[in-house]
């Protein structure tokens, strides 16, 4: 299609409403920045392929983080370096989408080095536009993995030295050793001739994806006048005269002709199949238990549960959240693991609320369930005044030091042992907390526990443990509970 008029492509928004400030017609990029030219070429290609409606751009962290100001298409802004992973997810979930991972060199070759390696190695059917400006533009000109030997940046004030910082990483060369990529080319934003080659490469990268051929990455050497401390025209010349010496232009891999279009089978699942896969049941998905009357001090609790890995800490949190859902509350469950999954410490935050929840991480804790001593040591002081602490007094041999909180000492591990399994100490605590707070009905918790526990042989012992915990609290209701272990 030959156009008579060259003008702003339609795949750009007419007005950049999302951009802050009053100037909504120009980009936020510095004068002479290569990102702008590359954007224009992508938008033009999107127009011509007519893919605006199904294109999803993944914008990176870096100067182009705001790509979503400009492109009239889907957009997800990914954490630093993770664009290829996000692109993978979107492409696989919606095979008909055209997914563009747009990344700078700090993003792609630095923090995201392994993401791109594996996306390329899997041969994801995505298109990656890799903008190599040999520097971290956004953060103020620090060295990038692609910074040239001898190039001065704020973090290499005497110039990059191979001994200190290693050699510039040549992404196309590196990826060309992999089997899967279909098309790898390095092009450059310099004079009109080279810009036209960029234009062609961008189209080819998109065309490959449209035809289902597989992974394409186009590395674009791009001027960053600000980061390099040069005038735009000098920066453009520097790409030509200097940057291109280290990063040679050319096609590093091109299997476009022989790559067979990938047939993507998308299986449709019925809701029954999904339930089966998840091991869930539809039973009772349509009813709620009544919310009991809850004392003001126990309403809307932000709960922290902490203990050893293996004590069922996260599971206890899940049961609380599930019971909350079944009682019609809003709830969140946020697990936090130690560096090791087994044997380390584990904790989770649960919020249960009558109101919508802004953040799953409360600034304060209303209820602490401490299953071991390190947990009490660590979190005792995070509990708000008049908050509640449940102490597993079987394993914690000290009193709570605070005297402005309510404390319930529950010998959870011993009570669990009495029903024949110390592992259900978490359910003892659930019983204790439910009896104390009355935040859900007992029936509700038992129903949830029965639904959630996969191994049905545990149902009985779980229920017994839960009742033990409840009874312990109810029977000791009028006594001032004191720790006897000391």
Minimum CB distance to ligand SF4, residue 224 (Å) = 3
Determine if 208 is a binding residue for ligand SF4 (CB under 6 A). no
Determine if 37 is a binding residue for ligand SF4 (CB under 6 A). no
Q: Which is nearer to other proteins, 233 or 264 (CB)?
A: 233
Determine if 102 is a binding residue for ligand SF4 (CB under 6 A). no
- Dihedral angle at the C-alpha atoms of 391, 397, 402, 408, nearest 10 degrees? 30
CA atoms within 13 A on the CB side of 250: 10
**Cα dist from 253 to 98, 173, 257, 465, whole Å:** 21, 9, 11, 63
Determine if 99 is a binding residue for ligand SF4 (CB under 6 A). no
Asked if 127 and 101 count as a contact pair (C-beta separation under 8 A), the reply is: yes
Q: Which is nearer to other proteins, 41 or 303 (CB)?
A: 41
Determine if 47 is a binding residue for other proteins (CB under 8 A). no
Q: Which does 226 bind (CB under 5 to 8 A by kind): ligand TPP, ligand SF4, other proteins, none?
A: ligand SF4
- In angstroms, the CA 155 to CA 168 distance is 15
**Cα dist from 454 to 222, 277, 459, whole Å:** 55, 13, 9
Burial environment of residue 469 by CB neighbours within 10 A (0 to 12, 13 to 18, 19 or more)? buried
| Residues found near ligand TPP in the complex (CB under 6 A) | 61-64, 80, 104-107, 111, 133, 135-139, 144
Structure-token match 């339609």, residue found: 10
- In angstroms, the CA 399 to CA 6 distance is 77
Among 28, 36, 376, 463, binds other proteins (CB under 8 A): 36
Among 9, 12, 35, 197, binds ligand SF4 (CB under 6 A): 35
Element (H, E) at 38: helix 34-49
Tell me the residue nearest to ligand TPP as measured from the CB.
Answer: 104
Q: Which is nearer to ligand SF4, 29 or 68 (CB)?
A: 29
Q: Which is nearer to ligand TPP, 145 or 312 (CB)?
A: 145
What is the sign, positive or negative, of the torsion defined by CA atoms of 380, 386, 390, 396? positive
Site for other proteins in 139-198 (CB under 8 A): 191-193, 195-196
Among 110, 137, 214, 225, binds other proteins (CB under 8 A): 225
Angle 337-338-341 from CA coordinates, rounded to 5°: 75
Q: Which does 39 bind (CB under 5 to 8 A by kind): ligand SF4, other proteins, ligand TPP, none?
A: other proteins
Q: Which is nearer to ligand TPP, 135 or 446 (CB)?
A: 135
Question: Which of 144, 126, 145 lies closest to 86, judged by CA?
Answer: 126
Site for ligand SF4 in 49-68 (CB under 6 A): 63
- In angstroms, the CA 237 to CA 345 distance is 57
Q: Which does 91 bind (CB under 5 to 8 A by kind): ligand SF4, other proteins, ligand TPP, none?
A: none
Structure-token match 């003892």, residue found: 428
Q: Which does 105 bind (CB under 5 to 8 A by kind): ligand SF4, other proteins, ligand TPP, none?
A: ligand TPP
Residue 93 dihedral angles phi and psi, to the nearest 5°: -75, -35
Chain residues in the site for ligand SF4 (CB under 6 A): 29-30, 33, 35, 63, 133, 137-138, 224-227
Chain residues in the site for other proteins (CB under 8 A): 2-9, 12, 23, 25-27, 29-37, 39-41, 43, 70, 191-193, 195-196, 199-200, 225, 231-233, 236
């Amino acid at each position: 299609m030959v156009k008579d008029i060259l003008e702003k492509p339609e795949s750009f928004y007419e007005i950049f409403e999302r951009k802050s400030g009053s100037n909504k017609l120009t980009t936020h990029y510095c004068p002479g920045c290569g990102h702008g030219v590359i954007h224009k070429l992508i938008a033009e290609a999107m127009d011509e392929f007519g893919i605006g409606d199904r294109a999803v751009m993944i914008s990176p962290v870096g100067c182009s983080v705001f790509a979503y100001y400009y492109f009239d298409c889907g957009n997800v802004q990914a954490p630093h370096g993770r664009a290829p992973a996000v692109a993978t997810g979107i492409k696989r979930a919606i095979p008909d989408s055209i997914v563009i991972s747009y990344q700078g060199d700090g993003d792609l070759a630095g923090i995201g080095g392994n993401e791109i390696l594996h996306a390329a190695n899997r041969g994801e059917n995505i298109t990656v536009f890799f903008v190599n400006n040999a520097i971290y533009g956004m953060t103020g000109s620090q060295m990038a993995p692609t910074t040239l030997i001898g190039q001065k940046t704020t973090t290499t004030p005497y110039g990059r030295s191979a001994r200190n910082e290693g050699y510039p990483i040549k992404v196309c060369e590196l990826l060309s050793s992999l089997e899967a990529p279909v098309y790898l080319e390095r092009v450059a934003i310099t004079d009109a001739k080279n810009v036209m080659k960029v234009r062609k490469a961008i189209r080819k990268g998109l065309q490959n994806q449209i035809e289902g051929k597989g992974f394409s990455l186009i590395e674009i050497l791009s001027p960053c006048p600000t980061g390099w401390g040069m005038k735009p025209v000098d920066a453009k010349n520097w790409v030509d005269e200097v940057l291109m010496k280290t990063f040679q232009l050319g096609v590093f891999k091109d299997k476009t002709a022989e790559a067979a279009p990938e047939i993507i089978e998308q299986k449709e699942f019925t809701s029954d199949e999904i339930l089966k896969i998840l091991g869930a049941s539809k039973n009772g998905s349509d009813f709620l238990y009544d919310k009991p009357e809850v004392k003001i001090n126990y309403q809307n609790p932000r709960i922290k549960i902490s203990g050893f890995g293996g004590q069922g800490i996260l599971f206890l949190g899940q049961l609380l959240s599930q019971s909350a859902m079944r009682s019609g509350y809003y709830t969140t469950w946020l697990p936090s693991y130690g560096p090791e999954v087994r044997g380390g410490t584990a904790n989770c935050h649960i919020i249960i609320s009558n109101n919508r929840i802004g953040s799953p991480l409360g600034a304060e804790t209303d209820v602490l369930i401490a299953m071991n001593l390190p947990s009490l040591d660590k979190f005792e002081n995070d509990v708000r005044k008049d908050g509640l602490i449940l102490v597993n007094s079987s394993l914690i041999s000290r009193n709570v030091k605070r005297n402005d909180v309510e404390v319930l000492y529950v010998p959870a591990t011993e009570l669990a042992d009495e029903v024949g399994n110390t592992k259900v100490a978490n359910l003892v605590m659930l019983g204790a907390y439910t009896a104390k707070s009355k935040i859900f009905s007992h029936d509700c918790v038992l129903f949830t526990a029965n639904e959630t526990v996969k191994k049905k042989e545990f149902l009985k012992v779980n229920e017994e443990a839960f009742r033990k915990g409840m009874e312990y609290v109810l029977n000791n209701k009028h006594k001032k509970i004191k720790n006897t272990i000391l």
